[in-house]
Chain A
Amino acid sequence: GDSVTQMEGPVTLSEEAFLTINCTYTATGYPSLFWYVQYPGEGLQLLLKATKADDKGSNKGFEATYRKETTSFHLEKGSVQVSDSAVYFCALSDYAGGTSYGKLTFGQGTILTVHP
């Protein structure tokens, strides 16, 4: 079945540091890949997505490239801010002949804390 593996957390960085959160996946069909962010006490918000190989998703300075050859979708940001402190989830939605119904498979989440 489908699965998503994220790097172990938590991750603690100083403001303006470079961020990478690793994500690898296993899927049987043609997955779309997502990064969601969860701020304290809130639900998940879509951060970015990529729907086919070599697509790059980007938003708010975050980027991730869909790498089919390495089955990866690593999240990066060049300079993090305190306001980026949150939990980040990698997820995939597989397409398998129309029966997937958009169900998401999530990684376990990575807690990011950014200090001033």
Chain B
Amino acid sequence: NAGVTQTPKFRVLKTGQSMTLLCAQDMNHEYMYWYRQDPGMGLRLIHYSVGEGTTAKGEVPDGYNVSRLKKQNFLLGLESAAPSQTSVYFCASRERGTGVGVGNQPQHFGDGTRLSIL
């Protein structure tokens, strides 16, 4: 019953450092997403993937890269961290769905990674 697992849970970086956040899901979901949560702004989509080997940009992709080499894993990378990237990052996954069901499958979320950049 692991669901969606994110590692690490907390991290502090210095400006300019790089790091990778890992998301793993054990539900065999096709779609995976990375969001950032900032106070008063809800969650905003960074990147998403609709299958192994595919990725696409979301609403706020600048400064981030992603990879989906295996169906169960979705990695989020920060090449050169900036203080504006201080946030809580959430990964989510969901089933594909068909027809109008494409929209009505719920997303399943991990517990988040709290990232501070000094």
Contact = CB atoms under 8 A, between A and B. Distances in A.
A79 B107 CA distance: 27
A79 to B, nearest CB: 26
Contacts, number: 75
Interface in B42-56: 42-45, 48, 50, 56
Given A101-B31, A108-B40, A93 B104 contact: yes
B109 A102 contact: no
Q: Assign chain A's interface to a size class.
A: 20 to 34
A100 B56 CA distance: 12
Interface residues of B, number: 31
Contact of A104 (B40, B97, B107): B107
B103 A31 contact: yes
Contacts of A109: 40, 42
Contact of B112 (A30, A43, A49, A106): A43
Interface of A: 4, 29-32, 34, 36, 41-46, 49, 51, 89, 93-95, 98, 100-104, 106-109
Given A42-B111, A45-B109, 10 more contacts: A4-B42, A32-B103, A43-B110, A43-B111, A43-B112, A44-B90, A49-B106, A51-B103, A100-B102, A107-B42
